[in-house]
Chains A and B, each alone.
Chain A
Amino acid sequence: MEISVTDLSCARGGLPVLSGVSFQLQAGQALVLRGPNGIGKTTLLRTIAGLQPATAGQVQMPEDCVAYAGHADGLKAGLSVEQNLRFWASVYGQREISAAVGAFALTPLLDRLAHDLSAGQKRRLGLARLLVTGRPLWIFDEPTVSLDAENTRLFAEMVDRHLQGGGMALMATHIDMGLSQARVLDLTLFKADLTALAQDSFLDEGV
């Protein structure tokens, strides 16, 4: 299993943000995206997840391979923790949720409504959701926001186990979680410059 991104360019709100992004990810590897705010981390992750089209370049990966976890956890406030997990499990055709419950010590919370969870507890549930997807490539956008040190460690363990099992992870984060197999990709190298913008046909002097 391998994922390769070649010469990928992406745009946010019609403005090119990144261009020429290339990397490869083998089974068991993780890639951490770094860069200042606004560089286009979220845009790149959403492009790779297939939520928005790339303006140039390509992403090659096996079909049905991505599980995406964005800024929002996608939890339903009116459902309990267990119902939320079971729902996503059945969307991905899985039955077993015990691994997800175990990874973040969610057992005491199972019957609580997601509405009554704290921000950190919601995030734990949102991250545990990836364990019921059965997908090899996990994409995280700022996963450790509102997690305390203990849960950040649990998260790192969860990702490490996933990598050891042959999975892959791609994440945008600022903190160093001590993942064993992680490489770092600095996105400032790929910042789109004005030449990318100059291809806008409305900037032609004749207009």
Chain B
Amino acid sequence: MANVNIKFNGIPYSVPEGITIIEAARLVDVNIPTLCYLKDINEIGACRICVVEVVGQRNLVASCVYPVSEGMEIITNSERVFNSRKHNLQLILSTHDNRCLACVQNGHCELQKICRDFGVDDVNMFDGEINHYEIDDSAEHMYRDNNKCILCRRCVAACEKVQGVSVIGPNERGFNTHIGCAFDQPLGDVACVGCGQCIVVCPTGAISEKDHTKSVWKAIQDPTKHVIVQTAPAIRATLGEMFDYPIGTNVEGKMVSALRRLGFDKIFDTNFGADATIMEEANEFIERLQNGGTLPMITSCSPGWVKFCEHNYPEMIPNLSSCKSPMQMLGAIIKTWYAEQNNIDPKDIFVVGVMPCTAKKFEIGRPDQSASGYPDVDAVLTTRELGHMISRAGIDFKNLPDEDFDNPLGESSGAGTIFGATGGVMEAALRTAAEKITGKQASEVDFMEVRGTEGIKEATYNIGGVELNVCVCSGLANARKVLDAVKSGEKKYHFIEVMACPGGCINGGGQPVQPSAVRNFVDLKSLRAMALYSEDMRKTIRKSHENPAIQKLYTTYLGSPGSSKAHRILHTSYVERDKF
């Protein structure tokens, strides 16, 4: 594309034709603040915070929707621009719950930061009528507090365009406009899947996860409880962001160290659960393949995806793998095998999952998820909640020593690690399935075609003379495309991996919230995924079935993958749910 010559604040630049002012500004390192803009999915010019002067134009323009053109002179830092932004902020504050000190986003709020930047000194400038909304706490995983909502519609865009879930939107009009569900039903009663993608894009504290930290603190301080924590593969790749590490820094050692100092009795790795998942899932896949079972088989690790399938594609429930998710598998193993081996009554064990995911808070309460007779997992913390616990406990994260997970359930393979990124489950499953099908040790363990952060990836592998068509997708809007193509017969796959969140768990709804200034222009997904793939490369054991602790679990307890005991402990069932 051709370039055009423009000026930002008097300094000349050459930028590609056709892009918007805000994109051009980013290219030349000029920052323009925004509240509603999300690149590619929410470009609606609603908040009027990104206004700039264009020489020759009478009015200020919204830079997120205004394209650059030859000779354009743009001024982003004049008093007129500052005053306009400040005025708009004060108008936003006229209907905003200003009790910032008691807000979950205090200190991380985009609105708060911009108010500080533009010197908003009177939050009651436009005093007047204000709507009071009840907090919607009906969903298992989150709150919606519309008193803090600024109607930027980022959550609506995430729900509709990224996820294709579309259960929230603007209702009514004018002063009464508010974000809600159809017929203003509570979120817990509609087809919300709990992915939390709305939470990570909200510029204020209007949407937040349900806090499980209280029950975790309580369990830690209860001497009768044996409190075990497990961390998902993706946590080590993102927890550092809570402590100002560069995005994509692997902080596994310090994370384990911090958990020990928080007072957990054992620190296990959900990667072990991932390895167990692969043992069961690879076996289930081969059985389906060889015995004429329902194909394509679809992964079931992502609870947001599972609920999406139950609501929107109930006819494909037989395609879902019956495997529990890695978190639930590890929880079940802890409360059965580990409990027996260590002579602990499972009722005294409290299992905490640290997850990149808000849907996990829903998953722990699902039926058929309590192998020991007690829930497999008792509480789920998001990466954010763990970060807050570490801060509250006064732990100096950056200066912690690196420590290792506890044995035996802290041992894992590289295959388990890459579960945290889109394509990881497929690759891990193929590493094991290939050897099971051929009966030979494979020298090649890298399945590069299923890696990368694209929304839909396809590959065909010849394994032991069988052509296997696989598909990997992330982001539920992409899952919809894939499933529709399968249903219409346009596509024939043997195995499909679906992750609810775009890019997989590393970009989950429970991950640290990055402000739009970062989210819009930095590829969070790739940077975070890199941390996982480099750990996989470093590991000596890279296939789940070669994990010695997994081998011990099967020889001493479960028998073989797919055994009736394995089924009772590690598999689950699904329910049909309403579409609306």
Indicate whether A and B interact: no
Report which A residues bind B (CB closer than 8 A). Answer: none
